[in-house]
Structure 1
Amino acid sequence: MLVLLIVLLEVVVMSVSFATTQLKVYKLSNGATLIVNPRDDTTAVSLQVWFRVGSIYENYQQKGMAHFLEHMLFNGSEEYPYGEIDRLVEEMGGDINAGTSKDYTFYYITVAQPYWQQALRLLYQLTQKPLLQEQMVEKEKPIVIEELRRGKDNPSNVLWEELEKLAYKVSPYRFPIIGFEETIQKFNREMLLEFFRNFYQPQNMYVVVVGDVDPQEVLKVTEETFGKETGRRVPFSDFLPEPDWSQNRFKKLEDPRLERAMWAIAWKTVPAGEKEYYALVVLDQILGGGRTSLFYRELREKGLVYSVSTGDMGRPRDNLYVIYATFDPSKYQEVKERIFKLMQDLSTNLSDEDVEKAKERIINGEVFTQEKPQREAYFIGYSATVIGRLDYYLYFENNIRSVRKIDVLRVLERYFLGRPYVELLMVPKR
């Protein structure tokens, strides 16, 4: 009886609806998850396929493979030769692209409503039926290596790579997404196929569709395409968390390409999606959220910096909060001292009104950006794939509204004031 029950469970499609939204979630029999948000306020449909794989899932020999594989998937599939999928999407007036991060990889097509079925079938071919030919692997290597070299010619890229190397000594977040020349040069078809089969498969997949669609029709097309693939156990990834920092870390670089100093300072902070995280989002809005923010008024408008921005990395573990600024090299010490004083003073000067205004700006900004189906689909895919639960998308506004001044101050005290930090200063080389 137990065996029969297991078999029955394996062939059923599970459907979940949420009372607070029209969102439909279907668990296909092969382990793939389909998430549909039907909207009648738009004529566009965004279709996205997300995989829980990025550079942190690679071993050293695979460094750069998640990004490389993203390139390879656009080099032809079983039904469409190289360039044909791009041409078809362009004929539909649509947009197609992909992205690889340290935590995830996703592919998307956004089209007008009449073309959504064709677009979904194209995404299936793109992500599940790539040819991965050896000759195309060799063709792609110099392209990716040239991209890597161009990145090293960009001082901003150098700053962020060096900052993460300074911050992470154990965590796989210390490695660049694009990998290294020595690893890329050794990639071959067999290595890519193994990586593809391990991670580009139903049990590691989220299909997200947002727009003017009927969820049952989307489910039918998804079952006819992605639902035919075989689900397999996803390999265990041995993620080593970064130990807490015992002291501050500082590194200074000189670069002849610079005309002004570039500076980044980072603290280890609360993982994305946890309860405290929403207070961090509000704190970030207060510190660096646009022209009304504390840093813009006190640093940019008063001429101490050319630019200043803030934000966290949005990571579900080993998350970092970063303040980035550019300024005249002679003002480094003054800028740093001023930032530290502003943050310290906030612990006594923060008002309930400041918090409420920050919350409203965050919520209004999210409402505006999610008017676009592509942005909303991204939020849903990120919530399911990276955070690991749709609550992050479903209840984001409610969680922001629940933040109080005491919550913001608690995050400020727990993660910033008097806590170890890492900082990287890049100055012009004379």
Structure 2
Amino acid sequence: MKTISINRELKHHDFEKDQNGVCRASQAKLTEDSTRLIHWSLKNGAKIVMASIPDTPLTCLDLWCRAGSAFENPGEEGLAHFLEHMVFKGSSSLEAGEFDLQIEALGGSSNAATGFDDVHFYVLVPSKSALQALELLLNLVLTPKIDQEAFCLEREVVLEEIAQYKDQPDEQAFQKLLESCWPQHPYGRSILGKEASLQRLNPAQMRAFHRQHYTGENCCLAISGSIPKGIDHVLKKSLLAKLPKKATERNNAIQSPSLGFCKGRKEIIIPRLETARLMIAWQLSPAKDQKMIMGADIATSLLAEGRRSRLVKHLRENLQLVECVDMDLTVLEQGSLVMLEALCKEDQLENVEQEISKVLKETISSPIREKEIQRSYCLVRNGMYFNLEAACHVANQAGSQSLWDRDHSLLDPLKHIPYWNSKTLQENILGILQPSQGFTLIARPSGNQI
């Protein structure tokens, strides 16, 4: 599973097998404390979640905020991501670039990412420097300067990033699919935003966006690894604790109009696209419906995870019609997305589409073999374990789910696996994953006629 941010990553797992050829989980060093989280809140509603991993010398601090691109008003497209850039251009006590230098001096690293639903900033440092890094991180994110000169300079950087993104044929196809699925919703537009909107923005608008969304109730700090002693007392006196509980104006962007998913079909030509592709997207349950999300993960693993999965085996291994076929589950707060993508020669597009339809229909026309289901169970379990092998991965998962009020063990979703069998998968998931229930996009290289 994944969420969309400005850098998309495709799902990929490497698995070990036992003597019978059955995949088994990695021996990840997960302690009970690192998956059973400690939750508490500051007086202003800011959430704190901690995962103790005592045998690591590192600490990850990951600050999350409900301030992704879905919270932008019309005319603000790209503001959330632009603000992420501006945060690193100086704060109340840090000059531009000083944060990175100080974190590196501590022996650590830092990064940030903006998604549709949220944005987060994180550092990984030796545990002895965690409290110092925490002060730096909170000052950086919660008290940005956003001055005029830096704003104008960084806007050019963001505009160049948009230009580079548009110059990537694969990303053009992906974005066109999102636009087609959700034409009236923020999920359907690029997180990077629109050039025209960015050109009209000013520092005052960005400061207002920061004040409105970076509030106590909208923030969550995840801490994983070796937990510094006394960090609870430090946090109670920190800048995070001093944030207002909520903005004076109620923000309703995340409860915006329904997603309005559009079924249908479209064919497009993309210049410099190296390989033709067929893409199909389906909308499923929002992130809070963990049982359905687990079912979707099992179903996509059954269909397109590894050589023995149905689509890969049929289209690539047996018929050799495609270069690759992949299926991804993107988990979002208002409604998740399953996306199938097959790369092939242009003259094989029709055959590929027919064979995909055939495979998908077969999943609901006859019972699924228990061996296939068990294999999918294993892949899903392994994927969840592998995603929790490092302190940063633990903080990422813990911060994201706690921000959205899912205060449970990181491995808690695994309890839903037994619910999913041939019958429940067919009735609740596979019946939806049919071509007629989704949006199909055919992307062809330029220079050829449709």
Calculate the TM-score normalised by the size of structure 2: 0.86
User: 1:160 Cα shift?
Assistant: 1.3
Give the aligned CA root-mean-square deviation in angstroms: 2.0
Q: Distance in 2 between matches of 1:418 and 1:68?
A: 37
Deviations 1:4-55 (A, max 9, x none): xxxxxxxxxxxxxx99955211110111111111111322211100011211
Q: Distance in 2 between matches of 1:68 and 1:398?
A: 39
Q: Distance in 2 between matches of 1:35 and 1:392?
A: 11
User: 1:413 Cα shift?
Assistant: 4.4
2:167 to 133, 137, 153: 153
Q: Distance in 1 between matches of 2:178 and 2:435?
A: 21
Counterpart amino acid of residue 205 in structure 1: C
Deviations 1:220-270 (A, max 9, x none): 22222211333224522250113354xx42222223312320221111222
The alignment partner of 2:44 has SS state of coil
Q: Distance in 1 between matches of 2:122 and 2:156?
A: 25
Question: Where does 1:182-261 land on structure 2 (aligned, <5 Å)?
Answer: 182-214=196-228, 217-225=230-238, 226-233=240-247, 234-237=250-253, 238-243=255-260, 245=262, 248-261=263-276
Deviations 1:277-301 (A, max 9, x none): 2111110111122333222222222
Question: Where does 1:107-146 land on structure 2 (aligned, <5 Å)?
Answer: 107-146=121-160
Q: Distance in 1 between matches of 2:56 and 2:384?
A: 17
- Distance 1:278-1:22 versus aligned 2 partners, 3 A rule: closer
Any unmatched runs of 5+ in structure 2? Answer: 1-31
**Larger displacement relative to structure 2 (124-133 or 260-269):** 260-269
Counterpart amino acid of residue 163 in structure 2: R
* 1:30 counterpart residue number: 44
Q: Distance in 2 between matches of 1:19 and 1:130?
A: 34
* 2:371 counterpart residue number: 353
**Larger displacement relative to structure 2 (111-120 or 325-334):** 111-120
Q: Distance in 1 between matches of 2:34 and 2:244?
A: 33
The alignment partner of 2:437 has SS state of coil
Question: Where does 1:31-46 land on structure 2 (aligned, <5 Å)?
Answer: 31-46=45-60
* 1:13 counterpart residue number: none
**Larger displacement relative to structure 2 (416-425 or 347-356):** 416-425
Deviations 1:190-222 (A, max 9, x none): 1001000011121100000011115x6221222
Question: Where does 1:17-416 land on structure 2 (aligned, <5 Å)?
Answer: 22-214=36-228, 217-225=230-238, 226-233=240-247, 234-237=250-253, 238-243=255-260, 245=262, 248-274=263-289, 275-302=291-318, 303-347=320-364, 348-386=366-404, 388-391=405-408, 393-416=410-433
User: 1:338 Cα shift?
Assistant: 1.0
Q: Does the 8 Å CA contact 2:36/2:410 hold for their aligned counterparts?
A: no
Any unmatched runs of 5+ in structure 1? Answer: 1-17
RCO higher in structure (CA 8 A, sep ≥6) = 2
Identity fraction in percent = 26
User: 1:335 Cα shift?
Assistant: 0.9
Deviations 1:367-415 (A, max 9, x none): 12202111111111221234x3123735112223443332211223441
Counterpart amino acid of residue 75 in structure 2: Q
**Larger displacement relative to structure 2 (349-358 or 375-384):** 349-358
Q: Distance in 2 between matches of 1:392 and 1:172?
A: 30
- Distance 1:394-1:358 versus aligned 2 partners, 3 A rule: closer
Q: Does the 8 Å CA contact 2:47/2:402 hold for their aligned counterparts?
A: no
Counterpart amino acid of residue 293 in structure 1: S
Q: Distance in 2 between matches of 1:167 and 1:283?
A: 21
Q: Distance in 2 between matches of 1:75 and 1:242?
A: 35
Runs of 4+ aligned structure 1 residues displaced above 6 Å come to none
Q: Distance in 1 between matches of 2:241 and 2:189?
A: 34
Q: Distance in 2 between matches of 1:330 and 1:131?
A: 55
The number of equivalent residue pairs is: 409
Counterpart amino acid of residue 310 in structure 2: L
